[in-house]
Each structure stands twice: as C-alpha cells, then as structure tokens.
Structure 1
Amino acid sequence: MNTHLITKVCGLSHAENMLKVDKLDVNFIGLIFYPKSPRFVTTKSLPPTEAKKVGVFVNTSINEILSHIKSYNLSAVQLHGQESIELISNLRQAILNDPQLSFIEIWKAIPIKNKSDFKQCAAYEHHVDKFVFDTKTNVLGGSGIQFNWSNLEAYNLSTNFLLSGGISAEDADKICQIQHSKLIGVDLNSKFEIQPGLKDIKKLSIFTSQLKAYENSIV
C-alpha cells in the first residue's frame, strides 16, 4: 500500500452527522443519488465540508449528473452501475467543456468476487481516474460483505483504486498489511452505521486513528 491512504466515508444523508464526520479529517464524503438506496440523499441543502464530496450514481443520465455536481458542489463522480465507455467519454467531454467543472474526477465502481472479475477493468482503463473495488452481491453497495482481499494481486493495471466492501473498524491493521502499489484509499460505509445514512462517529474515529498510527510508524 501507499504510505498514506485516503479515506472516503460513503452514504451520508444527515447534515449534522456529516459535519461530525468531517471533523475526523477524512478526505471524501460520499453522497448517494440512487433512489433505491436506503442512503439516498433527498435534501437539497447540505453543509460545506473540508472533505471533498463524491456523488454516487447508478445508470444516471449525463445531464442529471452535471446538475448534481453543481447543486452539491461535488469534486468527483462515482459510477456504480453498468455505465458504458461511451457514456463515460461523453461525461468527461461535458465536464471538460465547462471550465468550472474541469477538475471533476470520474471514478468507476467494479464489483469483485473472484480474480477473474478484475478483467472488466481493462475496458475502463484510461477512461476513469480511480476504481472502487466493491464486493459483488445482489445489491448495489452497502452490503457489509467483504471479498477475498488476496485476490487484489490479480489487478495489474495503472489506475489507482480504493478498497470497498464490508470494511469494519477492526480491519485497519489488515488493510495496512496489503501490499499493492495501486491501493490509495478505503471506502467506508455500512459497517460504520447506526442506521442507513447515519454514521457511528466512535467507530470511524477508531478506524481513522489506527490508520494514522500505522502510517506515522513507517514514515
């Protein structure tokens, strides 16, 4: 792993809770714009945060994505459905055509169960800025289930990735032991919840503190 892992806390939908998470010095806050998700963001007004905001979309139109980028001051777009390369290319062009949005990153979530699942990444290589490796299940995210992290050795492309899927407060040490040069961060969700959309600040604090302690020990 890199000597510093970025932290994304996903699935926040309560303003006060979001501000508490932000005080933990996390890097990204994930907002889910998928109506079928129990963590779906319905409010039109969310507080500004030091952490950058990532919008999570599932098979959403480009116009709607662009609208949410502006409305919620997003810094990145995470595509969590069956988005085509054509859609991603068109989204990228639309972002580049607007000087106010040119900094926006595009991330692609890839569902993983076996080593062979990493083959699907090749089609998206050079089209997205980051991958998010989530556990392949019958639901889209927030399953609380981990895939076998030893399978990460099968990933050999150049695009960096965040590890997602069932990470808990007890997994910090295990994650720190992963030796993969393209692992740059973690995506935390359901194992840190009091209820869908509401995060447990104590659990998040324990996890982030353990990560920092490990990183400081190897600097």
Structure 2
Amino acid sequence: MPTTAKICGLSTPTTLDAAVAGGASHVGLNFFAPSPRHVDFEQAAGLAARTPPHVARVGVFVDPTDELIDHAVAAGRLDAVQLHDTAPDRAAAIRARTRLEVWAAIPIRTRADLDGARRYAQAADRLLYDAKTPPGSALPGGMGVRFDWALLDGFRHPLPWALSGGLDPANVADAIRRTGAALVDVSSGVESGPGVKERDRIAAFLVAVEGA
C-alpha cells in the first residue's frame, strides 16, 4: 500500500488547495487556541467547504471540552478527531459521543514512552506517534521536533498508526523507508514560519511521499 499524507494546521484556502492538489489524504484543522495554526469556526467552515469528499478532515484538539468539539465538528464537517494530552477514558468518551474516528497522539522521546500507546487500544482508532516537546513548551506538537525512528523497531502497534514529528520534504522519504509508516503527518515542516504554510513546500512534501 502506498503511504498517504496529512497536511496539518492548514488555515488558508490557498494552502488547503495545495494540499488537495498534491494528493493529501487528510487535512488537519487546529482548534487549540494558543497554536499559531488555530482556526476559528468560521474559518473552519470555509476550509471544509473547499475540501473534496475523498479527503478526510481531521480536527486537532488538546484535551477539549464537549462544547468545543461539538462546534468544531459541525463547522469543520470533521471526519476524525485528533487528541493531544487527552486521557484514554476521555478519548473513549469522545469517540462514543461523536461516533467519529479518534486519533490519539503519543509523545515519544524514549522507548518507554511507547508503552502509552497500549493504553489507547480500546479508546482510539489510530495512534499518532509524535515527538515529545521540551518541558514547559506551550504546544504539544508542531514544533519541528523529531524523535529517533529506531525506537519503533520491533514494536507491536496496538492500532493503525501515523508518523509525525519533525518531518519535512527532505527527510520524509527516509522516514517512510525506515519505519514503514502507512500515513505521515506534517505541519511545521511545510512552513516558512510558525503557522505560515507554503504551497511549494506542501507540494514538495507530497511529491517526496509519493516517491518513497
């Protein structure tokens, strides 16, 4: 199966169009207010309206309230919910309540961090392996930090999974070959600055994924 890609943290029609044109399988809309990639409900609705049915819309949240999820799901016409810093029981409750696909982000720095993945086996539909950000960071991801891909060697994944954390057009093909990831996720790696996506970088990333 060819590897597919999610372009995350999109906030403008131009960059969303670039992701779709380049063949992204998923687009990510960020509903975490402190993030430079945050979109409000009006922006989300406009972006969702431009997204064709074959491209899945994923909402990105950090331990969200039900109210936030309800508004975001409606505005963004979400197909999936990506949860950061959200306990397994809360993830399971969100999954049951929304009946949407739930992705659980697993922050990784050491092999021991992978143990957290097993806690979501009955609570989520997909795992997102991301780099653990430095202590005191304002954001749980999207900071261009990479983890050692060798940590995934021999790990028995309890769920389908995606690879994130520090990916960019220059290293994503190597990441795919090294880990066997079926889905890769990029945000800061296709930006010229925090939250500023670039069409050419999105295109280059998707070409690299296709050629891996």
**What amino acid maps onto 1:140 in structure 2?**
P
The question of 1:19 aligning with 2:37 is answered: no
Provide the rounded CA distance (Å) in 2 between the counterparts of 1:11 and 1:157: 26
After superposition, the Cα gap between the structure-2 partners of 1:115 and 1:154, relative to the gap in structure 1 and judged at 3 Å, is farther
- Residue of structure 1 in register with 2:65 after alignment: 61
| Larger displacement relative to structure 2 (145-154 or 162-171) | 145-154
**What amino acid maps onto 1:91 in structure 2?**
I
- Residue of structure 2 in register with 1:108 after alignment: 104
1:152 deviates by 0.9
After superposition, the Cα gap between the structure-2 partners of 1:43 and 1:198, relative to the gap in structure 1 and judged at 3 Å, is farther
Instruction: Please identify runs of 4+ aligned residues in structure 1 that moved more than 2 A.
Output: 194-198
Provide the rounded CA distance (Å) in 2 between the counterparts of 1:85 and 1:8: 23
Provide the rounded CA distance (Å) in 2 between the counterparts of 1:146 and 1:110: 13
Q: Do the aligned residues in 2 keep the contact of 1:194 with 1:200 (CA within 8 Å)? A: yes
Q: Identity over aligned residues, as a percent?
A: 28
Q: Do the aligned residues in 2 keep the contact of 1:132 with 1:161 (CA within 8 Å)? A: yes
Deviation per residue, 1:33-73 (Å, 9 max, x gap): 11111111125132321222110001111232122111110
Q: How does 1:126-205 map to 2 (within 5 A)?
A: 126-137=122-133, 138=137, 139-153=139-153, 155-180=155-180, 183-205=181-203
Q: Do the aligned residues in 1 keep the contact of 2:92 with 2:124 (CA within 8 Å)? A: no
1:179 deviates by 4.4
Q: Do the aligned residues in 1 keep the contact of 2:91 with 2:104 (CA within 8 Å)? A: no
Deviation per residue, 1:56-110 (Å, 9 max, x gap): 00111123212211111011000012x22222222222124xxxxxxx2100001
- The alignment's C-alpha RMSD in Å is 1.7
1:154 deviates by 5.2
Q: Do the aligned residues in 2 keep the contact of 1:11 with 1:196 (CA within 8 Å)? A: no
| Structure 1: gaps (5+ residues) | 97-103, 215-219
| Structure 2: gaps (5+ residues) | none
* Counterpart among 92, 95, 109 of residue 92 in structure 1: 95
Provide the rounded CA distance (Å) in 2 between the counterparts of 1:157 and 1:25: 26
Look up the SS of the partner of 2:162 in the other structure: strand
Q: How many residues align?
A: 202
After superposition, the Cα gap between the structure-2 partners of 1:39 and 1:52, relative to the gap in structure 1 and judged at 3 Å, is same
Q: Do the aligned residues in 2 keep the contact of 1:62 with 1:87 (CA within 8 Å)? A: no
Q: Do the aligned residues in 2 keep the contact of 1:193 with 1:199 (CA within 8 Å)? A: yes
TM-score of the aligned structures, taking structure 2 as reference length: 0.88
Provide the rounded CA distance (Å) in 2 between the counterparts of 1:206 and 1:20: 10
TM-score of the aligned structures, taking structure 1 as reference length: 0.85
Look up the SS of the partner of 2:37 in the other structure: coil
